[in-house]
Chains A and B, each alone.
Chain A
Amino acid sequence: MNPKQRWGALIAGGSLTLLGLSRRSASGLALAAAGGALVYAGARTKLPDHFEAASSLLLNCTPEEAFRLWRNFKDLPLFMYRLESVTQIGDGRYRWIAAGPFGSPLRWDAEIVDERQNELIAWRSLPDSEIEVDGYVKFRPAPAGRGTLVIARVLYRPPGGAAARAVAKMLGKDPKFMMRQDLRRFKALIETGEIPTIDGQTHGPRSVATAAMRLADPDRPIRGDAEMREILNAKRRIA
């Protein structure tokens, strides 16, 4: 049972029970019993301990170009806005730092478990990580010369305790949506050498609600000139 079904069961079951009891009849009692059963089913289901995100996108480039840009891990934060840095710490091992809840950094170490030139990169997080992040990305030539299909799948497993809830809250922004945005930025970067944006654009006075929303949503950084140069360099490396 996924969270949506769970809440569906709890709410529908609760309503049915109330409706049934308010009828004060035999059929009402049956309704209430059915509602109670639904609530029970919903309440005893556990929330998932991991989150999974998968997405794919068509890129107007060759698999070689896409592989080269992705494989250069230190450039991943250029299009993965939640990532702060990726640094190599050993042979095939990397330390990933992401922006966690309330701006606190979230670290994990990962190793490459499988790599096929221009085709696939798969990684797995190492035991003492703050969050487990396992995943793979595949590059496949699209039919009819339409470019490359990039397919990514990532599994996050937050650690136990209060931190877990905070992390889950952060990931509650829908990991699939965040991955989709990352892939979109990857596509724009590889196709045009820049990421089209309106962040940082001039505007009139904002409302308090908008300002609060922007504060609460940390993945809207404004890229400076230095980073722009890096993006262009990344593009040049591909070309």
Chain B
Amino acid sequence: MKAVCWMGVGKMSVETVPDPEILNRRDAIVRITSTCICGSDLHLYNGFIPTMEQGDIMGHEFMGEVVEVGAGVDRDKLKIGDRVVVPFTIACGNCFFCKRELWSCCDNSNPNYWMGEAVGFLAFRSVRLYPYDGWLCRRPGPIRTRAFR
């Protein structure tokens, strides 16, 4: 697939990268139909996120269609073909905070938690979504989407 990659501070390029794969059981892969540039992308672009590495794929607010789900995904909540909108605050759905619907405080979904412990924010990377299958919002309504090629 094609992806916009961060190649260093202030350097972006469109690269052909391997297609994403399911890594965890509750992952889903979403074919993006529309996306946007977020204000926080500027922090990534300008090199203020310490865990960014050259080649990281940008973009964290988007909608699209579910094309693959992991074996552990609850099919009643999410199945192939669903149109979804993806909130940027990923969450695990099972920790103390998620159980109280305080999704943005999730204890588990940030893989760079060691940094979160120090400064308290999240860093996201690509369109493989983890780990909470109930997190993608299904949108059956007439939202018009435009695919970027």
Contacts and interface: CB of A to CB of B under 8 A. Distances in A.
Interface in B1-28: 3, 5, 7-8, 13, 15, 17-21, 23-26
A180 B99 CA distance: 23
Contacts of A207: 8, 53-55
Given A60-B96, A197-B23, A197-B111, A202 B7 contact: no
Interface of B: 3, 5, 7-8, 13, 15, 17-21, 23-26, 53-57, 72, 92-96, 99, 107-111, 113-114, 117, 125-126, 128, 130-132
9 contacts: A60-B99, A177-B114, A184-B114, A187-B107, A193-B72, A197-B23, A201-B125, A202-B128, A204-B5
B126 A196 contact: no
Contact of B125 (A191, A192, A195, A198): A198
Interface of A: 58, 60, 146-147, 177, 180-181, 184, 187-188, 191-207, 209-210, 222-223, 228, 232
A210 B53 CA distance: 7
A192 B131 contact: yes
Given A177-B114, A232-B72, A203 B109 contact: no
Shortest 5 CB-CB contacts between residues of A and residues of B: A204-B5, A204-B55, A204-B15, A207-B54, A188-B108
B94 A196 contact: no
Contacts, number: 115
Contacts of A146: 96
B54 A205 contact: yes
B114 A191 contact: no
Contacts of A199: 23, 111
Contacts of A195: 24
Given A60-B96, A187-B107, A201 B25 contact: no
Contacts of B55: 203-207, 210
Nearest to A222: B23
A41 B57 CA distance: 51
A4 B13 CA distance: 42
Nearest to B117: A180
A204 B56 CA distance: 6
B111 A228 contact: no
Contacts of A201: 20, 23, 125-126, 128
Contacts of B111: 196-199
Contacts of A181: 114
Given A200-B23, A202-B126, A202-B128, A192 B113 contact: no
A193 B72 CA distance: 10
Given A180-B114, A204-B13, 9 more contacts: A181-B114, A192-B95, A193-B94, A196-B92, A200-B21, A201-B23, A201-B126, A203-B53, A205-B5
